[in-house]
Amino acid sequence: MACRYHRNREETHRCGRCGCSLCGECKTSIENVTFCPHCLREEVVAEQHEALEVKKRIKRELIFILLGLLFGIAIVFSMSDGFKEMDNPLYFIAPFVFASLIAIVRRIGRVTASVASDRRNWNFGGLIFMLIFIGVVIIASPIIFVYRVFTRIRDYRNMSKIYNGDEELLRSIDAYVSHAETSPRDGEPSLSLSGEDEEFVVNFERQANNFMVNNNGEVIRDARYR
């Protein structure tokens, strides 16, 4: 059979998703699975939507951190008579506790889940450990705040980078396929490149190779569950 995109070339591969015939130029392999340009486009769109969703979630969290910080400062301002009586060290910690509330709750939740997985830990010693851990986390809230902000800003930039990279790859795929002629084949529309446009071919291969080597899925999962 001929390549779906090049009628003058013999089939050397098959798409692992739709099963169409491909030549070596048209195929893209991701984790030992071969994709045609159309199915590759679907993969890229799915990844792009996921990156955008995680990016929005990070943005909401950063807004919540800022609001928590401002709320904590307002509480300290009201309790310290306009910052005139700052003798209590908790006044310095309180804004960071409110700002780091999400991170603090997650860390406490993880430790609680770990302890709860073994019922033998739910004794007096386990309770003391939990109380000490909560105290340490609260005291370390300024460090947690700084770490969380910088980490989430980095994650936000990574999501933007992935989204923009996927957008560039989508343009390359569309440009590659747009140079094809549509003709029926076994009841299905078949695309065939009308000419060898080196610019589109090289650009498509370069972007597809970048998509293959970049472990974007793991980066997105880490950012989602961090």
98/146 Cα distance (integer angstroms): 13
Percent of the chain whose predicted confidence (pLDDT) is above 90 = 12
Task: Give the β-pairing of 33-35 and 180-185.
Answer: unpaired
Structure-token pair, residue 214: 């970049």
55/57 Cα distance (integer angstroms): 5
Asked whether the beta carbons of 183 and 189 are under 8 A apart, the reply is yes
What's the rounded mean pLDDT across residues 176-204? 53
26/19 Cα distance (integer angstroms): 13
Task: Give tens-digit pLDDT for 127-149.
Answer: 676 677 777 777 788 888 888 88
At 55, is the pLDDT very low, low, confident or very high (cuts 50, 70, 90)? very high
Does the pLDDT at position 120 exceed 80?
Answer: no
Range with the poorest average pLDDT among 2-6, 109-113, 136-140:
109-113
DSSP-assigned beta bridge partners for residue 190: 183
Range with the poorest average pLDDT among 33-42, 70-79, 122-131, 132-141:
122-131
For the chain, give the mean pLDDT: 76
Does the pLDDT at position 160 exceed 80?
Answer: yes
- pLDDT: which is higher, 116 or 9: 9
Does the pLDDT at position 104 exceed 60?
Answer: yes
Structure-token pair, residue 193: 């490149």
Residue 91 has a pLDDT of: 74
Residue 61 has a pLDDT of: 86
At 34, is the pLDDT very low, low, confident or very high (cuts 50, 70, 90)? confident
Residue 193 has a pLDDT of: 43
CA distances from residue 223 to 44, 51, 212 in whole angstroms, order as listed? 18, 9, 20
192/179 Cα distance (integer angstroms): 8
What's the rounded mean pLDDT across residues 87-92? 72
CA 97 to chain centre: 27
What's the rounded mean pLDDT across residues 40-69? 90
- pLDDT: which is higher, 113 or 188: 113
**Using CA of residue 50, residue 51, residue 57, residue 61, what is the dihedral sign?**
positive
Residue 31 has a pLDDT of: 75
